[in-house]
Structure 1
Amino acid sequence: MKQVATGVHQLSIQRFVNVYFVEVGLAGEWVLVDSGLPGSEKTIIEAADKLFYPGTHPQAILLTHGHMDHAGSAQALAEHWKVPVLAHPLELPFLTAQAVYPPADPTVDRGGSLAFVSRFFPPQSFQLRDVVQALPTTDADQTVPYLPEWRWLHVPGHAPGQVALFRESDRTLLGADAFATTNHESVPAVLLQQAEISVAGAPFNYDWQQVRQSVQLLAALRPQAIGCGHGPVVQGPEATEGLQRLAEAFPMPAHGRYVHEPARLDANGVAYLPPAPTDPLPGQLKVAAAGALLLGSAALLLQKQRRRNQNKYPQPQPREPRVRRTGKAPQ
């Protein structure tokens, strides 16, 4: 577990996804930000007991958005701790099984290894109707419930109701998946937790213009400490300047399903999806499979031919050497 700033701790689960323990300001009172992958509840509970005290529980669970790696253990944790789950209203259709997120785009430019595996991700939706509540959006300064020193900012593009959290007093930013603090295009970078402020979750970004605007909004805050959904803690000038560089030279993909025409979402979920581009991988896999089948068939035929030849032209068996008899008695 690593400290982002005073009263803010990051727990990295399986070196891939982060959750945050944010103290309210009073002893033993805190809020959990995000809930990790499905099955992460035991790890999170044990970490909370160690950080605070055995049997502790948060005031609430705040989801920055509802993707599987952020909301996966929300139901189990909410039931264990008997606390509410908070999320932006635009996330509720996806957290109450009324809708599923736009399909991932495995063809997006510079999607890296994440683009490849995104083909195999199941549709993302959860049924949290009994525990989830809408984050209040009428407050002018967007104060975070239970966290009076923090405010939330709407940063869509990756998820329609994605929010980031910012504490003005020390300029601490929890950026969700508006961006990442490691290079998602590189498997070694993710596994080794190499720090680099970069685009997050490219195959799952449904509106690239919004993604860029969200990065620019957060960069204008000039944060001094950053924790995101993916990647290590980044602090000091590296945080401020790294995010500013990403905002100023945002690497807009050259191609992809949602690059030139975004998906449109509303309070009910997905309202429109642009046509899916041709994915070359299935065709390539079919060609590879056909080639493998052809090679296998050729090898089998060759083996059968060899057996026929062996039966037709049997190899002469080697003769046993003759023993010369000398007529002498054994010694």
Structure 2
Amino acid sequence: METPAPRRLAPDLWHLPFPVGHVYALTLPDDGWALVDTGVPGSAPAILDALAQLGAHPADLRQIVLTHSHIDHMGSAADLVEATGARVLAGAADAPVIQGHTPELPPALTDGERPLLAQVQAGLAAAGQPPLRHVTVDTVLHDGDTLDGWGRPVHVLHVPGHTPGSIALHLPGTGTLLTGDTVGAAPGRAVLGPFNTDRAQAIASFHRMAALDGLRAVCVGHGTPLTGDATALMRQATPEKDWLHGMP
């Protein structure tokens, strides 16, 4: 897997773009780093190489926050923990799936999502990725929690719908929102992420995030991160209409 070229989105935030499932790297005090999501299985060497480009050694990775339990977001967490000793944090309702104690809840697909899911699954199968390894969740996160050790306010939002335990991270000081897959990006606009276990919940979670003021970087799991007046892009979105009849 090719090493992604890190793209700086804020003074403390880099986007590591992958073909499926983006990863975000953030600085912590005392030269530490955190990751939000870890890509598909087999991504760990490329992630560590990207961090090395940013001057980070493996031991500098202190925390891995998983926005949800899908394989393209938690897929390399176990390998990264082995290589770095980082702690894993995840939403309470998704932690049993991430740890392998509970099976993944399947999505409730719209007609427009079925061909896209088949395309994604075929691509993952063709890539010959390693099997998924589950990982221990060291800290279970709930709505309203704040993250320790980040040196600035980080608020945890429980945003169910894509999965029961999906979370987002809001860093109000820089106007940063890391959404997992509840929000996606089409050219120039925000869309509802596909493949939700509860579409109505996902739409409500989307609107909750769109109500946040001062967003300058909305870091989505798929598509190009939204920058500039990201709040306006979120509020102009029409998630109720997305994925009903194909691409939004």
Q: Please give the TM-score of this superposition, normalised by the length of structure 2.
A: 0.84
Give the conservation status (yes or no) of the 8 Å contact 2:185–2:222: yes
SS in 1 for 2:189: coil
Inter-CA distance 250–242: structure 2 relative to 1 (3 Å threshold): farther
Give the AA of the match of 1:127.
H
Give the AA of the match of 1:196.
R
* Number of equivalent positions: 232
* Match in the other structure for 1:133: 138
Counterparts of 2:121 and 2:50, CA distance in 1: 32
Give the conservation status (yes or no) of the 8 Å contact 1:167–1:173: yes
Give the AA of the match of 1:177.
D
**Aligned match for 1:199, one of 177, 188, 192:** 192
Deviation at 1:229, TM superposition (A): 0.8
**Aligned match for 2:161, one of 140, 157, 161:** 157
Q: Which runs of 5+ in 2 are unaligned?
A: 1-5, 126-130
Inter-CA distance 152–117: structure 2 relative to 1 (3 Å threshold): same
State the 4+ residue runs in structure 1 displaced beyond 4 angstroms: 118-122, 252-255
* Match in the other structure for 1:308: none
* Match in the other structure for 2:21: 17
Give the conservation status (yes or no) of the 8 Å contact 1:151–1:166: yes
Greater CA drift, 88-97 or 156-165 = 88-97
Deviation at 1:125, TM superposition (A): 7.3
SS in 2 for 1:78: helix
For residues 270-281 of structure 1, the aligned pairs below 5 Å read none
* Match in the other structure for 1:74: 77
Is 2:23 the partner of 1:5? no
Counterparts of 2:171 and 2:57, CA distance in 1: 28
Counterparts of 2:139 and 2:181, CA distance in 1: 20
Per-residue CA deviation, residues 271-327 of structure 1 (Å, 9 max, x unaligned), is xxxxxxxxxxxxxxxxxxxxxxxxxxxxxxxxxxxxxxxxxxxxxxxxxxxxxxxxx
Q: Please give the TM-score of this superposition, normalised by the length of structure 1.
A: 0.64
Give the AA of the match of 1:12.
P
* Match in the other structure for 2:172: 168
Per-residue CA deviation, residues 234-266 of structure 1 (Å, 9 max, x unaligned), is 2122x222210225x6316659xxxxxxxxxxx
Counterparts of 1:73 and 1:93, CA distance in 2: 17
**Aligned match for 2:223, one of 203, 210, 231:** 231
Is 2:137 the partner of 1:144? no
Give the AA of the match of 1:44.
I
Higher helix share: 1
* Match in the other structure for 1:39: 42
Counterparts of 2:188 and 2:243, CA distance in 1: 22
**Aligned match for 2:113, one of 107, 111, 114:** 111
Higher strand share: 2
Per-residue CA deviation, residues 127-174 of structure 1 (Å, 9 max, x unaligned), is 32xx3223243xx84212332421110001001111111111222111
Inter-CA distance 71–136: structure 2 relative to 1 (3 Å threshold): closer
Deviation at 1:195, TM superposition (A): 4.2
Inter-CA distance 31–53: structure 2 relative to 1 (3 Å threshold): closer
Deviation at 1:28, TM superposition (A): 1.4
Per-residue CA deviation, residues 202-231 of structure 1 (Å, 9 max, x unaligned), is 2x2011110111011000003221111111
Per-residue CA deviation, residues 13-36 of structure 1 (Å, 9 max, x unaligned), is 13x321011112x24112111111
Deviation at 1:5, TM superposition (A): 1.4
Counterparts of 1:212 and 1:9, CA distance in 2: 27
Counterparts of 2:25 and 2:227, CA distance in 1: 17
Q: Percent identity?
A: 28
Counterparts of 1:119 and 1:75, CA distance in 2: 22
SS in 2 for 1:158: coil
Inter-CA distance 169–53: structure 2 relative to 1 (3 Å threshold): closer
Inter-CA distance 172–116: structure 2 relative to 1 (3 Å threshold): same
* Match in the other structure for 1:216: 207
Inter-CA distance 55–134: structure 2 relative to 1 (3 Å threshold): closer
Give the AA of the match of 2:191.
S
Give the conservation status (yes or no) of the 8 Å contact 2:159–2:202: yes
Counterparts of 1:55 and 1:171, CA distance in 2: 28
Larger Rg: 1
* Match in the other structure for 1:94: 97
Deviation at 1:57, TM superposition (A): 2.5
